[in-house]
Structure 1
């Protein structure tokens, strides 16, 4: 019987965490990258690497997968770490590709989850609690502000120049409508749920082939980059039975198999948890999952090979910290420096998991830290130049 192995379509922090999580579980790993400077390329655990085009298609990855199947004498487990990679694996599953284990939702489900309009319509039909959502920006009249405007798919990020935009008044909304006239059908909007970043919750999960919740790691965000509406930069692990139950329901609604990152926000006034989104891939903070006892890469592998997934309870009150990213986001948000220092000092009593730094695999952190420091100096220089001008 051949040894279990994984094939990771890596991207940024997601991919780096997946490579480390696989190594932590003793799995042999093959990494597919779309750039020589991807963080995974600097990891000592990413020993067997293949370089793909910047925007790969199925025909780019199929020959690599076929060759690995022959070399290894059996199937590996394919794991997606980006929206594009999730689409590719969904397409392979739809086509009936069988040389490797595809523990992923079908292509139709991935297509729904990669399109915010389809995703939210699907969730509403399944009885999932959403913020007030507007599907037609050109015609709908919002009941309240502020709103968060989101591109329907990741392909529109370049059109918007960001992952989302906040509009606080009807005038700002009308300015957005004028700016993107002719493209409004590529966006949706939602009411912003009140509350600070510590009301944001994330569940990194794995659903087995019977659509049951095989693994679930829950954490509460304490900071994001950019602030309030970005990706996790600071978080604390904290189990939440209500969200576990919600994830199980979402898995059944979607008929879902494989890894996913499911986000919620709690309304501090009502105590209700509102569904924000599901990403049909491994979560960005999956290394945090692993260090807290819930290895979703291993859970996917066990599910793929038909083994029982037996993962213990998560370790709570552990802190995930992307120091440079969190600090930059807070400074750009003009937070009080003394308040930032007090927050960071309060975290020193908790066991910390670095977003990048791992003493057994330090090179990616040094590369990221140097790039972040250079970015901070550049931004500071621009602000000083603008102030003096």
Structure 2
């Protein structure tokens, strides 16, 4: 196949899964990172080529120049696949420029950022009749009175720009239980020059979180989709999937597909919903507009989103498909799931018996694969080195 696949960010298992999903079909995969340190995804036997680029934030112009120089040397335009939100932000900023060199599913500059920014996304969803958690802007009049009457405590202080917030605070949000904690969270965010919103917590345990994973073609029509149910997250309650199962929930298609099509989205996207434990209503929480944490699960149940992306952009689209049954298969990121289990048990949210029962399901692992062991070995060495370093500091 003449078109290479350039994968941005292989120091995490999303990049590893993307490399595997393309490599099994004989596609030339190019792992691009800003350092060789901890890039265990590039250790895969399916990785054809490794490239080190300037840092996407510290030297953005150098990074874009690197991408253009690399593509200009190829016989055919490569397919560009970001595997981290930070890469998506840069691609969106330089979309028109990069599309002259790369095959990229999205054609509207700014749409990635509009759907990643929680404030803008919630306005967009509300305009299209999709329920979102009750939200207040921090500059509203009588803010604290409105929190007391509308949002109520505990509530969430969430960033509009998640990647920037996470890089500063090493968490996705602040959960606050009273006015004093809310003021403190707002002051911290202001000091870090980060915009935030205040949001009601939708009732329900972590297993009330669901995902609608879909691919929209160049006509902005959903052609492939899968729905999943989260069981455990890390950090617990407001984190990323660490134990999630494929679960057929047709209502999520009925909500998600018309919304995505109406806003003209193209390419892969994942909508996270939460089902209200009291009313059964689904609320849109956020969109992930790059390959998801659950990619290996989606691939194992029959929908290979990186390959679907590659095939359509290179002019040979895959037949439409949806998983309309329960496969009982679950995704597990073992390293963080162990941390999550300890936290769930410590806080009394799950029992040891419930954990044992959940682990009876057939599993897809985030990193380990007997047919491609080098990334797993590299990951274990990386974790061991970090623990040793931490121990020596004591």
Post-superposition shift, 1:83? 1.4
Which of 370-379 and 346-355 deviates more?
Answer: 370-379
Asked if residue 109 in structure 1 is aligned to residue 111 in structure 2, the reply is: yes
In the alignment, which of 90, 96, 99 is matched to residue 97 of structure 1?
A: 99
Q: Alignment partner of 1:53: what SS?
A: coil
Q: What's the counterpart of residue 330 of structure 2?
A: 319
Asked if residue 119 in structure 1 is aligned to residue 121 in structure 2, the reply is: yes
Distance 1:25 1:137, change over 3 A: farther
Q: Structure 2 length normalisation: TM-score? A: 0.87
Gaps (5+ residues) in structure 1?
none
Q: Alignment partner of 1:44: what SS?
A: coil
Distance 1:376 1:316, change over 3 A: farther
Distance 1:45 1:162, change over 3 A: same
In the alignment, which of 299, 308, 320 is matched to residue 317 of structure 2?
A: 308
Q: What's the counterpart of residue 8 of structure 1?
A: 7
Question: Could you tell me whether the CA contact under 8 Å between 1:294 and 1:311 is conserved in 2?
Answer: no
Question: Could you tell me whether the CA contact under 8 Å between 1:134 and 1:190 is conserved in 2?
Answer: yes
Question: Could you tell me whether the CA contact under 8 Å between 1:32 and 1:51 is conserved in 2?
Answer: yes
Q: What's the counterpart of residue 241 of structure 1?
A: 250
TM-align CA RMSD: 2.9
Question: Could you tell me whether the CA contact under 8 Å between 1:237 and 1:317 is conserved in 2?
Answer: yes
Q: Residues 158-197 of structure 1, C-alpha deviation per residue, up to 9 Å, x if partnerless?
A: 3434221111222321232344455686111211111111
Which of 186-195 and 307-316 deviates more?
Answer: 307-316
**1:72-91 mapped onto 2 (5 Å cutoff):** 73-91=75-93
**1:56-205 mapped onto 2 (5 Å cutoff):** 56=57, 57=60, 59-71=62-74, 73-95=75-97, 97-136=99-138, 139=141, 140=143, 141-142=146-147, 143=150, 144-153=152-161, 154-181=163-190, 186-205=195-214
Post-superposition shift, 1:77? 1.3
Q: What's the counterpart of residue 352 of structure 1?
A: 363
Q: Alignment partner of 1:107: what SS?
A: coil
**Equivalent residue pairs, number:** 381
Asked if residue 17 in structure 1 is aligned to residue 17 in structure 2, the reply is: yes
Question: Could you tell me whether the CA contact under 8 Å between 1:262 and 1:279 is conserved in 2?
Answer: yes
In the alignment, which of 314, 321, 340 is matched to residue 329 of structure 1?
A: 340
Question: Could you tell me whether the CA contact under 8 Å between 2:242 and 2:333 is conserved in 1?
Answer: yes
Equivalents in 2 of 1:258, 1:189: separation in Å? 30
Equivalents in 2 of 1:338, 1:249: separation in Å? 35
Question: Could you tell me whether the CA contact under 8 Å between 2:210 and 2:230 is conserved in 1?
Answer: yes
Equivalents in 1 of 2:192, 2:181: separation in Å? 17
Equivalents in 2 of 1:370, 1:266: separation in Å? 39
Q: Alignment partner of 1:166: what SS?
A: strand
Gaps (5+ residues) in structure 2?
none
Q: Residues 250-301 of structure 1, C-alpha deviation per residue, up to 9 Å, x if partnerless?
A: 2124211111121111112111110001122111221221111110001111
Post-superposition shift, 1:105? 5.0
Question: Could you tell me whether the CA contact under 8 Å between 1:259 and 1:282 is conserved in 2?
Answer: yes
Equivalents in 2 of 1:313, 1:122: separation in Å? 26
Equivalents in 1 of 2:139, 2:390: separation in Å? 33
Q: What's the counterpart of residue 53 of structure 2?
A: 52
**1:213-224 mapped onto 2 (5 Å cutoff):** 213-224=222-233
Which of 21-30 and 331-340 deviates more?
Answer: 331-340
